[in-house]
Amino acid sequence: MTPVLEVAHLRKTYGKTVAVADLSFTLAPGGALGLVGESGSGKTTTARMLLGLEKPDSGDIQVCGRPLTEAPRGRPARLARAKAVQIVFQDPYLSLDPRLTVRAALDDVLRLHGHPDRPARVRELLDQVGLGEREAGALPRALSGGQRQRAAIARALAVEPDVLVLDEAVSALDVSIQAQILNLLADIRRESRIGIVFVSHDLAVVRYLCDEALVLHRGVVVEHRGMEELLRDPREGYTKLLLASVPHAGWDPEEIAERRRAL
């Protein structure tokens, strides 16, 4: 089976600072990988390279066997890149136009990509993320944080990308709303078989959605293991520090294994 995402020997520097050093991983269709680390670990730089917002110094990125390392040039190439990889940011205002209602924002994306039945696809997306007619007709400022993030997820899913990158996508939400969004993402993953790259500093969040985690420290991979194994027996001191910084309640390996099977 061709990986939905394949990253090989990715490297990015800023002057003398190495942001990402020799990063490699693969992601199967329907898989979910957590990129975990503190600020400055290189996880957001990696996400930006996947999106084409940063060009790597060296290395390769392929989505479904298609190379994506070079920055897209011209409208057709940019649209193709957008259909390959989409992102949901921590702050949905970065991806939602404050002047457009949720329905208009979704329709705008579909129009740009030439979708043949925009009204039907908009209804499908709203239903998929759990937004009703009231939310569909509202501007972003009239929505709660969780509703805005649902709208941002719908916008990212509009073109049916192969890979969805979530950059700290729940860290600004209340814990109860975090759980709702994580459950939504798990449902989307199960139903669509989309590949998910979940960027976070918080292993307590990553554990609910991801099969495996890649722990980054100053641009270097210190651990890349299955989620259950990583939580049960972290090998590296840096990983242990990350684990020590979040609550451990409910970290039952059997419970986590059950979640994985449910996906």
Question: Is 65 in contact with 2 (CB distance < 8 Å)?
Answer: yes
pLDDT band at 249 (very low <50, low <70, confident <90, very high): very low
In a domain, 24, yes or no: yes
pLDDT tens figures, 198-245: 999 888 889 889 999 999 999 999 999 999 899 888 999 999 988 887
pLDDT at 262 over 70: no
Alpha-helical (H) ranges within the chain are 43-51, 75-84, 102-112, 118-129, 133-136, 145-157, 175-192, 203-209, 227-232, 237-244, 253-262
Q: What is the mean pLDDT of the chain?
A: 89
In a domain, 16, yes or no: yes
pLDDT (0 to 100) of residue 205: 87
pLDDT at 76 over 80: no
pLDDT tens figures, 11-56: 999 999 999 999 999 999 999 999 999 999 999 999 999 988 899 9
The pair of structure tokens assigned to 94 is 């970065």
pLDDT (0 to 100) of residue 161: 95
pLDDT tens figures, 137-160: 999 999 999 999 999 999 999 999
pLDDT band at 250 (very low <50, low <70, confident <90, very high): very low
In a domain, 126, yes or no: no
Q: Which residue has the higher pLDDT, 153 or 91?
A: 153
pLDDT (0 to 100) of residue 256: 47
CATH number, residue 77:
3.40.50.300
**Averaged over 173-184, what is the pLDDT?**
89
**Averaged over 115-142, what is the pLDDT?**
96
In a domain, 1, yes or no: no
pLDDT (0 to 100) of residue 91: 84
Which residue segment(s) compose the domain that 219 sits in? Answer: 12-96+161-262
pLDDT at 72 over 70: no
pLDDT (0 to 100) of residue 253: 47
Question: pTM value?
Answer: 0.89
In a domain, 167, yes or no: yes
**Averaged over 90-116, what is the pLDDT?**
91
Strand bridging mode 5-14 / 17-27? antiparallel
For 168-196, give the DSSP string.
STTTTS-HHHHHHHHHHHHHHHHHH--EE
In a domain, 242, yes or no: yes
pLDDT at 171 over 90: no
How far is Cα 131 from Cα 122, in angstroms, rounded to an integer? Answer: 11
In a domain, 156, yes or no: no
- Name the amino acid, one letter, at 119: P
In a domain, 250, yes or no: yes
Total structural domains in the chain? 1
